[in-house]
Structure 1
Amino acid sequence: MPQKDPCQKQACAIQKCLQANKYMESMCEDVIKEMRRCCERHAENSNCCSGFKNSKPTENKTNK
């Protein structure tokens, strides 16, 4: 039996959060951070991490 992906739970949580929040990433920052943490620990053993960017998102800073 194939081994379960160690970051599958976090990947599914991201998809669920994005769907529930009309794909607004800013509403899912906590679950995205959890995915990053998982990928830092398990990137070599996780297919889910292969498509997940390791870089932190750039912040849009505007001066008003």
Structure 2
Amino acid sequence: MPQKDPCQKQACAIQKCLQANKYLESLCEEVIRDMRRCCEAQGGNSVCCSGFKDPKPTEDKSDT
């Protein structure tokens, strides 16, 4: 029997939250943070994390 993905619970929570909130990511920030924490803790041992990338730090776009 295949082992359950360690971050599957968080991945499902994101989908449920997005569906309930008309896919507005800003309303699901907490569950997205939970997923990032899980992916960091698993260090690549989660298939669910394979397509879940941390956002790149935004560069300062001001022209000062």
- Tell me the TM-score range normalised by the shorter chain: 0.7 to 0.9
Structure 1: 4+ residue segments shifted above 3 A: none
CA apart distance, 1:54 = 2.0
In structure 2, the partner of 1:53 is: 53
Fraction of identical pairs, as percent: 79
CA RMSD across the alignment: 1.5
- Structure 2 unaligned segments of length 5 or more: list them: 59-64
Q: What is the TM-score when the length of structure 2 is the normalising length?
A: 0.83
Q: Aligned partners of 1:42, 1:6: CA distance in 2, in Å?
A: 8
- Structure 1 unaligned segments of length 5 or more: list them: 59-64
Q: Aligned partners of 1:29, 1:43: CA distance in 2, in Å?
A: 21
The higher radius of gyration belongs to 2
In structure 1, the partner of 2:62 is: none
